[in-house]
Amino acid sequence: MDNNPFEHVPHLQERLIPIAESKVRVTPQVLAQWDVRVRAMGGTDGWCISENEREASRCATLEAIKLDQDVWVFAYGSLMWDPAIYFAEVRHAQLTGYRRVFNYQIMSGRGTPEQPGLVLSIMPSTAHVCQGLAFRIAPDQVEQETTLLWRREMLRGGYCPMLLTLHTPQGDVKGLVFAGNPAHSTYVQDLSLDETAAVVACAGGYLGPNRDYLNQLDEQLCALGIQDDYILGLSQRVACL
């Protein structure tokens, strides 16, 4: 029997959005609702990748994991306060050689086609260590929970899912990481911090203002004792706009 999932991060329990209240646990019904919204804004059949494409990506990424094994998921953005998955354990975790960047452009959720928003990805950077959380999915829930997770993170195929080593205080684990894919059409390159702030300050969609996403991230990083100078600088600039 699993222990308390929050044994290693007890104060986190009150800081996660309950699954029943999450808007990003992407069941087929939720995805159908999103599809209606996007089409109402002018979206076409190609606005997201197909379920078959997502499933192929999921199976290819996880094929190295045995059926009776847990799956760890690295959380560096909204997963840190809204995981929307059932998990058996959560730990502090860090990923060496990556950094957070607001460079993934979205036209729904936190933006619109007329005023796209920006959300996080993580990009390779040898000088950085990205600190976040690692959630462990128990073997009997891997199939269901990773399917839901792929619908959320790989809705448009905008990330590169891979298994990488995560360092945790309780030992290293191999974890699922949705890393940035700058070759994808949704990415914007070389925005200055001021240019990024100008987008985040003004954009918004049916999930709320883009700046709320940033504020939630900033607050969760502070609560977890994680310092990210890029996020801090961006938050200070957005607060002034």
Handedness of CA 71, 75, 79, 83 (dihedral sign): positive
Query: Where is pLDDT greater, at 66 or 92?
Result: 92
The residue ranges of DSSP E strands in the chain, in sequence order, are: 71-75, 89-106, 117-137, 159-166, 173-180, 204-205, 208-209
The rounded distance, in Å, linking the Cα atoms of 164 and 61 is 11
Beta bridge partners of 187: 104
pLDDT band at 30 (very low <50, low <70, confident <90, very high): very high
Q: List the domain boundaries for the chain.
A: 23-239
In this structure, are residues 81 and 17 in contact, taking their beta carbons and an 8 Å threshold?
A: yes
The angle at the Cα of 109, spanning 149 to 24, to the nearest 5 degrees, equals 30
What are 202's two structure tokens? 């003004």
What is the topology classification, in CATH, of domain 23-239? Hypothetical upf0131 protein ytfp (3.10.490)
The angle at the Cα of 61, spanning 75 to 183, to the nearest 5 degrees, equals 75
DSSP 33: H
Count of CB atoms within 10 A of residue 215's CB?
15
195-233 confidence digits (pLDDT tens): 999 999 999 998 999 999 999 999 999 999 999 999 999
In this structure, are residues 78 and 216 in contact, taking their beta carbons and an 8 Å threshold?
A: yes
Output the pLDDT for position 121.
Answer: 97
In this structure, are residues 61 and 179 in contact, taking their beta carbons and an 8 Å threshold?
A: no
Output the pLDDT for position 1.
Answer: 41
Residue range 152-171: mean pLDDT, rounded: 97
Of 7, 55, 143, 153, the active-site residue reads: 153
- Burial of 168-186, coded b for 16+ CB within 10 Å and e otherwise, reads beeeebebbbbbbbbeeeb
Pairing state between β 173-180 and 71-75: parallel
The total number of residues shown for the chain amounts to 241
117-141 confidence digits (pLDDT tens): 999 999 999 999 999 999 999 999 9
In this structure, are residues 210 and 200 in contact, taking their beta carbons and an 8 Å threshold?
A: yes
Is 153 part of the annotated catalytic residue set? yes
Output the pLDDT for position 18.
Answer: 96
